Structure 1
Amino acid sequence: MSFDPMAAVVDWLDAYRSGDLESILGLYSDIATIECGCGGATTLNGREALRAYWEQRLRDYPAADMDDLQPARDGVAVTHRCRGSSVRADFEFDTAGQIFFQKCGPSN
């Protein structure tokens, strides 16, 4: 069975929209990095930093509808609605199919 990065990003957005912290964290590698430009630049590394980030995101910035999903240079990009704004998130995956890098920020 082959890995489908587009399906993985849909799973990520579904978990985000439902507020399922453990499912979200399960999609990331233990050494994942997030670069978030939503409301100020932040770079996070590792499991504990991701947990704190996602606890706050789920509480303060719940996700809504998906606007777009497409292959990107090194992975997949998704644009979705969050508190009335459009956010783009780009994902790169490791060989095990887990997210090892995510960059997000306001969609231009």
Structure 2
Amino acid sequence: MSFDPMAAVVDWLDAYRSGDLESILGLYSDIATIECGCGGATTINGREALRAYWEQRLRDAPAASLNDLQPARDGVAVTYVCHGSNVRADFEFDAAGQIFFQTCGPSN
């Protein structure tokens, strides 16, 4: 069976919407980086920083409905609703099918 990055992003959004921290963290590689532009630019690197970031996001900025899902140049882009506004997240995956790079921020 081959890796389906679109399905992986759907799994990510499902875990985010349900508040499942462990499932979310399981989708990222140990050396993953997130560049987040939601509420101010920040860069998150490594497992412990990812955990702290996601604990805060799940508490303060839960995701709502899916708006768009499409292939992107190096991976997959998803747009979803958070606090009534659209957020876009772009994902890149490693050879093992884990997220190794993500950007997110308000959708234009």
TM-score, structure 2 normalization: 1.00
Indicate the percent of aligned positions where both proteins have the same amino acid. Answer: 90
Letter in 2 for 1:5: P
Which residue number in structure 2 is paired with residue 36 of structure 1?
36
CA-CA distance at 1:27 after TM superposition: 0.1
Summarize deviations over 1:5-58 as a string: whole Å, max 9, x none: 000000000000000000000000000000000000000100000000000000
Secondary structure of the equivalent of 1:102? strand
Q: CA RMSD in A?
A: 0.2
Q: Which runs of 4+ in 1 moved over 2 A?
A: none
SS in 2 for 1:105: strand
Alignment partner, residue 99 of structure 1: 99
The residue aligned with 1:75 is 75
* Mapped pair 1:24 → 2:31: no
Pairs aligned (count): 108
Q: CA deviation at 1:98?
A: 0.1
Q: In 2, distance between residues paired with 1:73 and 1:40?
A: 25
Runs (5+) with no aligned partner, structure 1: none
Note the C-alpha offset of 1:63: 0.2
DSSP 3-state at the match of 1:90: strand
Residue 43 of structure 1 aligns with an amino acid whose one-letter code is T
Gaps of 5+ in 2: none
1:5 has 2:5 as partner: yes
Q: Secondary structure at the match of 1:9?
A: helix
TM-score, normalised with respect to structure 1: 1.00
Q: Which amino acid aligns with 1:24?
A: I
State the distance in 2 between where 1:31 and 1:38 align: 21
SS in 1 for 2:38: coil
Name the residue aligned to 1:48. 48
What amino acid is aligned across from residue 14 of structure 1 in structure 2? D
Find the residue that maps to 1:7 and give its secondary structure: helix
